[in-house]
């Protein structure tokens, strides 16, 4: 295993090697990496195989804060843990009062184990797990304890009638329905368009009912003959024209 211990209170960043593929065993915790000392560490584009920490926590990675005034920080980006084990806590990752930010870490849960069942274990720290997907899309992810396991680079666009302004989404449920009076027929958008005056929002480009949708609209179509939209823009339906009037 590789031990990285910084000096509390400094801002230096350490970068770890980009490939860990050999079998490893740790006596201190962290089958491949053990981080402490109140520093900022980064792991990027790294593949971990056959890591084991034996009777210590963190089958692949352990992150510890020794001095609460200086929290150890770890950033993990676009990496994979294919097999890992520990007989205690954190089959893949053990974090103790530290700050861990993960962007697209895929964990093969079939071959990552711990005796107590926790694959990702976080005690007293801040843990954020995201995909690497851009706004308008979400990752191919699954829940793993308090975290998400995401396939690096695997993203799906939000569908028509939906939008997503933020990056890092991990599930389709984070795609938002276009709000009232807005629509989009396109995939992967970060915002919806306003339906113009005299038109209404619907989910059918050939709709002639004049009765539209309050959210999730995919099309903006003209009000049918004899009806009008009684707002300057963003209408969800059309009203009947008054007697003696037409549209």
In the structure encoding, which two tokens stand for residue 28, read together?
A: 């201190």
Overall number of domains in the chain: 2
Burial profile 205-240: b = 16 or more Cβ within 10 angstroms, e = fewer: eebeebebbebbbbbbbbbeeebbbeeeebbbbbee
Q: Is residue 62 part of a domain?
A: yes
Q: Is residue 137 part of a domain?
A: no
Q: How confident is the model at residue 29 (pLDDT cuts 50, 70, 90)?
A: low
With a cut of 90, say whether residue 38 has pLDDT above it: no
Which residue has 């195989």 as its token pair? 49
Residue 197 DSSP symbol: T
Q: Is residue 66 part of a domain?
A: yes
Q: Is residue 136 part of a domain?
A: no
Residue 154 DSSP symbol: E
What's the pLDDT tens digit per position in 126-167? 999 999 999 999 999 999 999 999 999 999 999 999 999 999
**Domain co-membership, 96 together with 171:** no
- By residue range, what is the domain housing residue 193? 160-237
Amino acid 9: pLDDT: 44
Amino acid 172: pLDDT: 98
Q: How confident is the model at residue 245 (pLDDT cuts 50, 70, 90)?
A: low
Q: How confident is the model at residue 246 (pLDDT cuts 50, 70, 90)?
A: low
With a cut of 60, say whether residue 13 has pLDDT above it: no
Instruction: Please count the residues of the chain.
Output: 247
**Domain co-membership, 109 together with 11:** yes
Q: Is residue 35 part of a domain?
A: yes
Q: Is residue 178 part of a domain?
A: yes
Which of 106, 129, 152 represents a domain boundary (last residue)?
A: 129
**Domain co-membership, 201 together with 120:** no
**Domain co-membership, 109 together with 170:** no
Residue 7 vs residue 218, higher pLDDT: 218
**Domain co-membership, 170 together with 229:** yes
**Domain co-membership, 202 together with 102:** no
**Domain co-membership, 113 together with 18:** yes
Q: Is residue 97 part of a domain?
A: yes
45-54, 84-93, 227-236: least confidently modelled range: 227-236
**Domain co-membership, 118 together with 9:** yes
Q: What percent of the chain has pLDDT over 70?
A: 86
**Domain co-membership, 177 together with 121:** no
**Domain co-membership, 108 together with 175:** no
**Domain co-membership, 221 together with 164:** yes
3 forms bridges with which residues in the sheet?
A: 34
Which of 111, 129, 147 represents a domain boundary (last residue)?
A: 129
SS (H, E, C) 167-181: CCCCCHHHCEECCCC
**Domain co-membership, 102 together with 169:** no
- pLDDT averaged over the chain? 86
Q: Is residue 38 part of a domain?
A: yes
What's the pLDDT tens digit per position in 172-221? 999 999 999 999 999 999 999 999 988 999 999 999 998 999 999 999 99
Q: How confident is the model at residue 21 (pLDDT cuts 50, 70, 90)?
A: very low
């Amino acid at each position: 295993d590789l031990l990285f211990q910084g000096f509390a209170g400094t801002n230096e960043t350490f970068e770890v090697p980009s490939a860990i593929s050999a079998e490893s065993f740790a006596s201190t915790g962290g089958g491949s990496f053990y981080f402490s000392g109140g520093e900022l560490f980064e792991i990027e584009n790294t593949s971990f195989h056959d890591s084991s920490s034996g009777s210590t926590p963190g089958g692949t990675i352990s992150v510890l804060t020794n001095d609460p005034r200086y929290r150890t920080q770890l950033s993990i980006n676009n990496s994979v843990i294919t097999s890992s084990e520990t007989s205690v806590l954190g089959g893949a990752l053990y974090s103790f009062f530290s700050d861990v930010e993960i962007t697209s870490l895929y964990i093969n849960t079939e071959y990552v184990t711990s005796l107590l069942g926790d694959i990702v274990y976080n005690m007293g720290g801040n843990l954020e797990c995201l995909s690497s997907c851009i706004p308008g899309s979400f990752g191919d992810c699954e829940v793993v304890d308090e975290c998400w396991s995401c396939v690096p680079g695997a993203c799906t666009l939000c569908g028509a009638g939906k939008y997503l302004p933020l990056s890092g989404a991990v599930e389709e449920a984070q795609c938002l329905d276009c709000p009232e009076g807005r629509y989009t027929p396109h995939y992967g958008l970060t915002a919806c368009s306003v339906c113009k005056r005299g038109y209404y929002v619907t989910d059918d480009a050939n709709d002639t009912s004049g009765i539209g949708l309050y959210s999730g609209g995919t099309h903006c179509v003209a009000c049918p003959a004899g009806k009008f939209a009684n707002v300057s823009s963003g209408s969800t339906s059309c009203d009947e024209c008054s007697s003696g009037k037409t549209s």
